[in-house]
C-alpha cells in the first residue's frame, strides 16, 4: 500500500528552527551591481542547462524576505540551491540557509556583488538585500561544474520560459474559471516540481502557479505557500488533502505514480477559481469528456457524433467501472 502521509516537517518550520543557530552577513546591492544586462530568456535558460532541480522561476514578489536552501537534493547529491531561481521585489532580502548536506558550500555572485563564507554547518545563514532590478547569477564555487547554480531575479523582468505541452489535455470544465490558466506547463523529466500556493489570480492572491502541469510517473509535487492568505490543497477523488496553511514557506508534497489527472482545489476558494490540475504520464484518450458534452444519453449521442472512438472508450470504462483518473499519490 502506498504511503499518503503529508510532509513530516513543513519547510517553513524547519527554516524557522534552524535559523536560530545561524549566522548572518548582510549588505545592500546598489545601482550598477549584479548582472542586470543578462536578463534575456536565452541566456537565463542556458545558465540552468545543467541544473537538474531547475523547474522555472519561483515567484516571491510581494514578500519582504525569501529563503533558499543550500545543499538541497540535486545534481547527483545534496548539490543544489532550492529553489534554484527566485523572483523578488527590489528591496527584498534573500536568506540562504545551509542544510548541512553535501559538504562545503558557499554562495558567490558571478560578478562579485556578494559572497558568503564556505561552510558545511547545518543552519548557517547568509543574508543579502537586493535593491536594483536585474538578474543576479550565483554559484557554489566548489560545486559549480556539477550544476550547483542559482539566480535571483529582482523586479518585474520576464525571464525564463514555460514550455507548454504540444497537445492540451482535456480537463472538462475544471479550469474554465481559473484566471491564470494559459496552458499546461511541461515539467516532465524532473524528479521534483513546485507549485506556488497563494499566487496572483482569481481576483487576488488566490491561485496556484502554475495551475496546470504535466509530470512523469514517479515525480514528487511540492506545493509551497507564499504567505498570501490561508489555503489548502485538496483532491477529493484521489483522497489527499493538506492542512490549511497561511505562513510563507510551508510545504505539502505528494509523489504521483501511474497515469491520469489529479484535479485539486483550495477547499474554501475552489468555486472562485482556485483550482489546479496535474497530468501524470500519458493518460489514454479521452481522459475526460469534451467541455461541450455533458454526461448522459444526449451527451453520449453528441460525443458519438463528434468522436466515435471516444464514445466507445467511455462506454468500455463505464462497463468496467474504471476510474477516470488512475493516479496514486504518495
* 3-class SS of residue 306: helix
Query: What is the distance between the alpha carbons of residues 236 and 93, in angstroms, rounded to a whole number?
Result: 38
pLDDT at residue 275, rounded to an integer: 98
Please give the Cα distance from 287 to 310 (Å, whole number). 9
Work out the number of other CB atoms within 10 angstroms of the CB of residue 268.
15
CA–chain centroid gap for 330, Å, is: 17
CA atoms of 85 and 111, how far apart (whole Å): 17
Buried/exposed code over 24-62 (b: 16+ C-beta within 10 A; e: otherwise)? eeeeebeeebbbbebbeeeebeebbeebbbbbbbbbbbb
Q: Which of 307, 262, 303, 306 is nearest to 283 (CA)?
A: 262
Q: In whole angstroms, what is the distance from residue 150 CA to residue 84 CA?
A: 5
What is the C-alpha to C-alpha distance for residues 25 and 195, in angstroms, rounded to an integer? 30
Please tell me the predicted confidence (pLDDT) of residue 26: 34
**What is the distance between the alpha carbons of residues 134 and 154, in angstroms, rounded to a whole number?**
5
Asked if the peptide bond before residue 278 counts as cis, ω within 30 degrees of 0, the response is: no
HEC letters along 135-186: EEEEECHHHHHHCCEEEEEECCCCCCCCCECCCCCCCCCCCCCCCCCCCCEE
State the 10-residue block means of pLDDT for the chain, 330 residues long.
29 25 33 39 82 87 92 96 93 97 97 96 96 93 96 83 81 94 86 89 94 93 92 95 93 94 97 96 62 42 50 50 48
User: Is the model's pTM score more than 0.75?
Assistant: no
- Spatial distance between the Cα atoms of 151 and 94, rounded to a whole number of angstroms: 11
pLDDT at residue number 163: 73
Q: How far apart are CA 187 and CA 216, in angstroms?
A: 8
Q: Which domains does the chain have, with CATH numbers?
A: 11-154 (2.60.40.420), 185-329 (2.60.40.420)
Q: What is the pLDDT of residue 329?
A: 57
Q: Residue 68: which of 19, 26, 131 has the closest Cα?
A: 19
Enclosing H/E stretch for 22: none
- Residue 233's nearest CA partner among 205, 260, 270, 203 is 270
Amino acid at each position: 500500500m502506498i504511503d499518503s502521509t503529508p510532509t513530516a516537517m513543513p519547510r517553513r518550520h524547519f527554516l524557522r528552527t534552524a535559523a536560530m543557530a545561524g549566522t548572518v552577513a548582510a549588505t545592500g546591492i546598489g545601482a550598477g551591481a549584479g548582472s542586470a544586462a543578462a536578463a534575456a530568456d536565452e541566456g537565463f535558460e542556458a545558465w540552468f542547462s545543467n541544473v537538474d532541480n531547475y523547474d522555472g522561476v519561483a515567484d516571491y514578489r510581494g514578500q519582504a524576505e525569501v529563503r533558499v536552501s543550500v545543499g538541497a537534493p540535486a545534481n547527483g547529491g545534496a548539490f543544489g540551491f532550492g529553489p534554484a531561481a527566485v523572483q523578488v521585489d527590489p528591496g527584498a532580502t534573500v536568506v540562504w540557509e545551509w542544510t548541512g548536506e553535501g559538504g562545503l558550500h558557499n554562495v558567490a555572485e558571478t560578478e562579485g556583488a556578494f559572497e558568503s563564507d564556505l561552510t558545511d554547518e547545518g543552519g548557517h545563514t547568509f543574508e543579502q538585500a537586493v535593491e536594483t532590478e536585474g538578474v543576479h547569477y550565483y554559484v557554489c564555487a566548489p560545486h559549480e561544474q556539477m550544476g550547483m547554480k542559482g539566480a535571483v531575479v529582482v523586479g518585474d523582468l520576464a525571464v525564463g520560459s514555460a514550455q507548454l505541452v504540444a497537445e492540451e489535455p482535456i480537463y472538462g470544465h475544471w479550469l474554465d474559471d481559473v484566471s491564470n490558466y494559459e496552458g499546461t506547463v511541461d515539467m516532465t523529466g524532473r524528479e521534483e516540481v513546485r507549485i506556488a500556493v497563494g499566487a496572483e489570480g482569481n481576483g487576488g492572491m488566490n491561485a496556484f502557479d502554475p495551475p496546470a502541469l504535466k509530470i512523469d510517473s514517479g515525480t514528487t509535487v511540492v506545493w509551497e505557500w507564499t504567505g498570501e492568505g490561508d489555503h489548502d490543497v485538496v483532491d477529493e477523488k484521489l483522497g489527499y488533502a493538506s492542512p490549511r496553511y497561511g505562513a510563507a514557506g510551508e510545504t505539502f508534497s505528494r509523489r504521483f505514480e501511474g497515469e491520469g489527472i489529479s484535479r485539486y482545489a483550495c477547499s474554501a476558494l475552489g468555486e472562485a477559481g482556485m483550482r489546479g490540475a496535474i497530468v501524470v504520464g500519458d493518460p489514454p484518450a479521452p481522459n475526460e469528456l469534451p467541455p461541450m458534452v455533458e454526461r448522459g444519453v444526449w451527451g453520449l449521442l453528441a460525443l458519438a457524433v463528434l468522436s466515435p472512438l471516444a464514445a466507445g472508450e467511455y462506454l468500455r470504462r463505464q462497463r468496467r467501472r474504471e476510474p477516470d483518473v488512475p493516479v496514486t499519490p504518495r
